[in-house]
Amino acid sequence: MRRVVVTGLGAVTPVGNDVESMWTALKNGESGIDYITKFDTDDLKVKIAGEVKNFDPTLYIEKKELRKTELFTQYAVAAATQAVKDSGIENNIEPERLGVYVGAGIGGIGTFVENTLGMDKGGARKVSPFFIPMMIGNIAAGTIAIRFNAKGVCLPVVTACATGTHSIGEAFHAIKHGYADAIITGGAEAAVTPLAVAGFSNMKALSSNDDPKTACRPFDKNRDGFIMGEGAGIMVLEEYEHAKARGAKIYAEICGYGNSCDAHHITAPDPTAEGPARAVRAAFEEAGVCDEDTIYINAHGTSTGPNDRSETKAFKLVLGEKANDISVSSTKSMTGHMLGAAGGVEGVIATLALYNGIIPPTINYNEPDEECDLDYTPNKAKERDINVSVSTSLGFGGHNACIVFRKA
């Protein structure tokens, strides 16, 4: 089987609109969560989120195209442009061997709401002719493919909050098994809207803490729900010999992927943690993870009671006593939960942690939970010479995903 490496990274997040600024903020434990500014929150119970700030789409998309490009697609194109530039892959690959695997958990919800309200007030004539192509969840992948003339495999994944990680994992396998030589992959989301905030809030999934700087506290005993975020995380995966032949910079080798389903409940994780454990175990087995490896896990870590307990249990089921030796953190404590973009951004973060030998922290971790008793890298980043980094994601519907990177 062919080896697969990471040669390009891109990100648009609540803590920075490029990889360098995002990574600097995460290392410093800086939170991008604050009061919502995009719309009036007077009628909403939850008034905070991880919004992308000072984003200029004209750096990546022509101004005349913006009115027909949904925000989640704008984020995706921006992060993909960064990743492709970073990799140097453009014009160095046959178009039919370049693919795009970029998904969104929700897609164009802002466009959907805007056009629904328009039709309700003014009839069908108020519905934009761009409504459908802006709204559909595959349009980010299609737009990226058009931008970079990627005529190969193209698969937009939709698995809720596991979307980004599944996208990267499926892209890895597609290259490993010979269906492409390089794939632009990750996730994007722009769902910080009144409807989405109300929906998640009314199902009791969001934190009721109204202090933006302390509301998201993964693995802490007093956690009470997640904070919505938005953005995009994209990486370029490439077949190793192809990358080596053109002298590409290699951040890491991706060498394991696991995919499973709880088949338990539409939103709640299975308390036995057997589902995520199967995904982690499969990824570890494919990657050949062993007792001698020094491991960092960028956990899904949503700051909800059931998720954080289930993930902790899953890591213990797979690693046994070695679970006490690994480093874990949830960078959602700083970015919020970016839904379909989360796995894409966290895959980028896991790669950077491995490349730089720095574990980003879980901030707002103040009171340990007896059921969450691993090393969650509380409040401050730390240097550690790791040779394996992992990113895990869990999505509504019971979807579980895990990807494993090794030092190149």
Whether 372 is a known active-site residue: answer: no
Q: Over the range 56-65, which residues count as b (16 or more CB within 10 Å of their CB) and which as e?
A: ebeebbeeee
| Annotation marks residue 300 as catalytic | yes
User: How many angstroms separate the Cα of 114 from the Cα of each of 3, 103, 118, 135, 138?
Assistant: 45, 22, 6, 11, 19
Q: Which of 300, 372, 399, 402 is catalytic?
A: 300
Token pair listed for 54:
């000072």
Distance of CA 159 to the CA centre of its chain: 12
Catalytic residue among 242, 337, 372, 402: 337
- For residue 114 the two structure tokens come to 């805007």
Q: How far apart are CA 238 and CA 43, in angstroms?
A: 47
Q: Are 222 and 367 in contact (CB under 8 A)?
A: yes
Q: Say how far residue 368 (Cα) sits from the centre of its chain.
A: 26
User: How many CB atoms within 10 Å of residue 106?
Assistant: 21
Nearest Cα to 253, choosing from 359, 354, 402, 329? 354
Q: Measured on CA atoms in the order 318, 168, 15, 226, is the torsion positive or negative? A: negative
Active-site residue identified among 154, 161, 216, 372? 161
Strand partners, 394: 400
391 token code pair: 């990113």
Is residue 161 part of the annotated active site? The answer reads: yes
User: In one letter, which amino acid is 401?
Assistant: A
The sign of the torsion formed by the CA atoms of 379, 381, 385, 388 equals positive
Three-class SS of residue 16?
Answer: strand
Left if phi > 0, otherwise alpha if psi is -120 to 50, otherwise beta: which for 228?
Answer: beta
Burial class (CB in 10 A: 0-12, 13-18, 19+), 214: middle
Q: How far apart (Å, rounded) are the C-alpha atoms in residues 131 and 100?
A: 23
Catalytic amino acids? 161, 300, 337
